[in-house]
Structure 1
Amino acid sequence: MTKENNYYTDERIRSDLDYQRAQRIAKNMLDSGLISGEEFNKLCNINRKTFSPLFVEIYPKITCYVSETE
C-alpha cells in the first residue's frame, strides 16, 4: 500500500463494515418496535463514535430518525 493510499486500511474498512452492520441491526430493532426513535438516534450516535465509519464526515449531523408525529 502506498503512502497516498493509506486512508483505506484494512482496519478502517473493517470498522466501516461493522458500522453498517450495527446500523442495520438498530434499524431492524426500530422497525420491529423493540426500540423507540429516540433510542435509535442514540444508537446512531454511539455507532458513529464507536466504529468511525469511513465517510462519517459527510454523514448528516442531524438525527437518524424523526417520527411522523414530530
Structure 2
Amino acid sequence: MEQNQVIDEINYYKAQAITELLYARGMITFDEYDKLTDLNRQTFSPMYADLLPKSLEKSPNQS
C-alpha cells in the first residue's frame, strides 16, 4: 500500500467517525448522514469501499 493510500484510509476513517458522532448527537439527520458517508467514500476512496455497506440500516427515528 502506498503512502497516499494509507493517508486516504486514515482521513476516511476520521471523516466517517466525525459523521457518526454528528449523527449520534442528533446534529444531522439520517439522510445527511447517508450523504456524508457517500461523500467520504468518494473523496477518500477507502481501499475496501466495495465491501462497505452503501448505507446504514438505521431507521430515521433512531438516535
TM-score under structure 1 normalisation? 0.79
1:17 partner letter: I
Distance 2:40 2:33 in 1: 10
Tell whether 2:63 aligns with 1:67: no
1:28 partner letter: L
**Does structure 2 retain, via aligned residues, the 8 Å contact 1:26–1:40?**
yes
In the other structure, the counterpart of 2:7 is 14
In the other structure, the counterpart of 2:50 is 57
TM-score under structure 2 normalisation? 0.86
3-state SS in 1 of match to 2:36: helix
Give the number of the structure with larger relative contact order, counting CA–CA contacts within 8 Å between residues 6 or more apart: 2
Q: How well do the aligned residues superpose, as a CA RMSD in angstroms?
A: 1.4
* Residues 1:65 and 1:34: Cα distance change in structure 2 (over 3 Å): farther
**Does structure 1 retain, via aligned residues, the 8 Å contact 2:23–2:33?**
yes
Q: Percent identity?
A: 30
Aligned length: 61
- Structure 1: which 4+ aligned runs deviate by more than 2 Å? none
Which one of 7, 26, 29 corresponds to residue 33 of structure 1? 26
Residue segments in structure 2 that go unaligned for 5+ positions in a row: none
Whichever of the two has the greater Rg, that structure is 1
